[in-house]
Structure 1
Amino acid sequence: MTAAPLGDAARILAVLLGACFGTGLLLIALGALRRPTHGEEDRGGWRRRLAGRLPVSWNKRRFTVALVAGVAVGALTRWPVAALLTTAALLTLPGLLGSDSAAARRTERMEALALWTEMLRDTLSAAAGLEQAVLTTADIAPSALRRELGDLAVSVRSGQSLPASLRSFADEVDDPLADVVVAALVMAAQRQASQLAALLGELADSVREQVAMRQRIDAGRASIRAGVRVTVTVTLGMAVGLTVFNRPYLDPFNTLSGQVVLAIVGALFALSFTWLTAIGRLHEPVRLIDPTPAGARGEAGRTL
């Protein structure tokens, strides 16, 4: 016994409910992503925490495009589940299928860190002091760290102590390997450590080994992402082709039970893509220097 198809009134009601639901999600997302004004900073803590949990690429434009496209698909197909799946797909698939720009950017910054460490080593070998070596190398810094090293040089020239400036530099770079280099420099600045040039050379070699390892891992992850791209492209192409050229084949999805089946299939695809993303994700090590508020950095920095 087959389920009765949805009537016209029920379809119109489903489309309207889907449109209302999408509009509500859009308003919630825009409210969460909106940057609070000065007077709202104390009351907007939950909003900042919510926005901090969302991926960086989930900006207002992507939310708007995804929700509008979801409502349009729901109106064309009269499938509420299709509207939800389209919205979720447009939010998540571009980051999953596109190039891993974040990993490439971090690898580039690690290479720049190794190069800067070698520059410090060579400058110190020429009998320059540590502070002068930092200022000299910051002016010819690698492009991936030019802004952070420029801020470091400005901080030192403005009269701030070198250890405090280095800690601010570590907070800005936000990388465990940078913390190791900064910790060695802070100890040398505070205790006049000997053989700093040799230590910096060893640290530079270690960073380069880490870069080589990440490049090998990224090559393995590239094959996973390629497989996901093929799977998603074939699935979406088949769905669009059936919708355009053989719509009667999809008539069973016009029923309530068909929508339930479509929701289950969409959930299974989402779980599989989430699992593929999880197995290709790198777990970053814990930072050596904990981020400290600016007001407390001077007091907490004495513990390093």
Structure 2
Amino acid sequence: MDQILASGSLTLVTALLGAAFGMGLVAAIHGARRHPVEQPAGNRGRALPQRLPADWTKRRLTIALVASVAAGALTGWPVAAILTGVALLTLPGLLGPDRQAARRTERMEALATWTEMLRDTLSAAAGLEQAVLATADIAPAALKPELDRLAASIRSGRPLPAALRTLADDVDDPLADVVVSVLLMAAEQQARQLGSLLGELAESVREQVAMRQRIGAGRASIRTGVRVTVTVTIGLAIGLVIFNRSFLTPFDTLTGQAVLATAGALFAASFTWLNTLGRITEPLRLMTTTPPAAATAQEGTR
């Protein structure tokens, strides 16, 4: 009886240490990401959660921690606890739908539609500012909040060029920067043939949307293959742990844990590689503004 209790206590301690090590490793990796050098003292506590991926909610972190402890307690393997936590944090984003890419594509389509609306409104002999106000009220839903703020800014008396630069920051998209640059040129230098130029820009944006949709279709098949592989692998591992624990006895040793860690690292590397096959490298933005802190410092030196 004492031997059983000692074995259970050792298993629990091993599970807790493994889970703590795994979460510490993940935190260290994400903490090493590049971040602003200077942070106000009051915002340091708020900046730490912002370094984590957006889909790492408190609920997911809690589930990953609990599952890591459970996996370590069930198997007695620290590596199993680490792999469980890392898998629960990373696999949903890898295997689930690519919501970020879908949202980007939707915003690009909305940008093309708004550009065409501007072109058509300008062809009716309306001024640029009037065209912006008229189209903002009926803008596509994906860009409606940003364009509503643009219209409100113009109606409050703000100059059109400054309002357009704010729009570029709000949308935060390289293609939107191109459209805003053309509008700025028209607002500041009275560019000719603005309507035809906007039409060409809208056509270019739609071509990029079509390209992204083709890439998305190819990525869907890759994700399906990865999803099947992950499901079969995890199902087999859980089945062996529950129904044939003796088959996994070699993993109880230090060498076995090293082999398990190597296998987990290989799986992680292969899934990461598969995820990058269809990833689109986003171009750099053309328009950037000085951060508020930097602007304040510059004004103070004048």
**Which residue of the partner structure matches residue 260 of structure 1?**
258
- CA shift at 1:15, angstroms? 2.8
- CA shift at 1:13, angstroms? 3.7
**Which residue of the partner structure matches residue 14 of structure 2?**
14
Q: How far, CA to CA, are the matches of 2:15 and 2:293 in structure 1?
A: 53
Matched AA of 1:74: G
1:193-272 equivalent positions in 2, closer than 5 A: 193-272=191-270
TM-score where L is the length of structure 1: 0.85
Q: Deviations over 1:59-101 (max 9, x none)?
A: 2221111111111111111111111000000000000000001
- CA shift at 1:25, angstroms? 7.5
User: Do the aligned residues in 2 keep the contact of 1:26 with 1:63 (CA within 8 Å)?
Assistant: no
**Which residue of the partner structure matches residue 65 of structure 2?**
67
**Which residue of the partner structure matches residue 274 of structure 1?**
272
In structure 1, the gaps of 5 or more residues are: 1-6, 33-40
Q: Tell me, what secondary structure is at the counterpart of 2:162? A: helix
- CA shift at 1:102, angstroms? 0.6
**Taking structure 1 as reference, are residues 8 and 56 closer, same or farther at Cα in structure 2, changes over 3 Å only?**
closer
Q: How far, CA to CA, are the matches of 2:26 and 2:174 in structure 1?
A: 37
- CA shift at 1:54, angstroms? 2.7
Q: How far, CA to CA, are the matches of 1:185 and 1:57 in structure 2?
A: 35
User: Do the aligned residues in 2 keep the contact of 1:121 with 1:197 (CA within 8 Å)?
Assistant: yes
**Taking structure 1 as reference, are residues 47 and 25 closer, same or farther at Cα in structure 2, changes over 3 Å only?**
farther
TM-score where L is the length of structure 2: 0.86
**Taking structure 1 as reference, are residues 11 and 295 closer, same or farther at Cα in structure 2, changes over 3 Å only?**
closer
Q: How far, CA to CA, are the matches of 1:84 and 1:295 in structure 2?
A: 40
User: Do the aligned residues in 2 keep the contact of 1:26 with 1:64 (CA within 8 Å)?
Assistant: no
Q: Deviations over 1:156-178 (max 9, x none)?
A: 11111111111111111111110
- Which stretch of structure 1 is more off in the superposition, 156-165 or 41-50? 41-50
**Which residue of the partner structure matches residue 36 of structure 1?**
none
Q: Tell me, what secondary structure is at the counterpart of 1:265? A: helix
Aligned-pair RMSD on alpha carbons?
2.8
- CA shift at 1:260, angstroms? 1.4
1:77-88 equivalent positions in 2, closer than 5 A: 77-88=75-86
**Taking structure 1 as reference, are residues 232 and 23 closer, same or farther at Cα in structure 2, changes over 3 Å only?**
closer
Q: Which has the higher contact order (CA 8 A, sep 6+)?
A: 1
Q: Tell me, what secondary structure is at the counterpart of 1:140? A: coil
- CA shift at 1:292, angstroms? 3.0
**Which residue of the partner structure matches residue 123 of structure 2?**
125
Q: Tell me, what secondary structure is at the counterpart of 1:131? A: helix
Q: How far, CA to CA, are the matches of 1:193 and 1:27 in structure 2?
A: 51
Identity of aligned residues (%): 68
Matched AA of 1:18: G
**Which residue of the partner structure matches residue 180 of structure 2?**
182
Q: How far, CA to CA, are the matches of 1:281 and 1:249 in structure 2?
A: 39
User: Do the aligned residues in 2 keep the contact of 1:26 with 1:67 (CA within 8 Å)?
Assistant: no
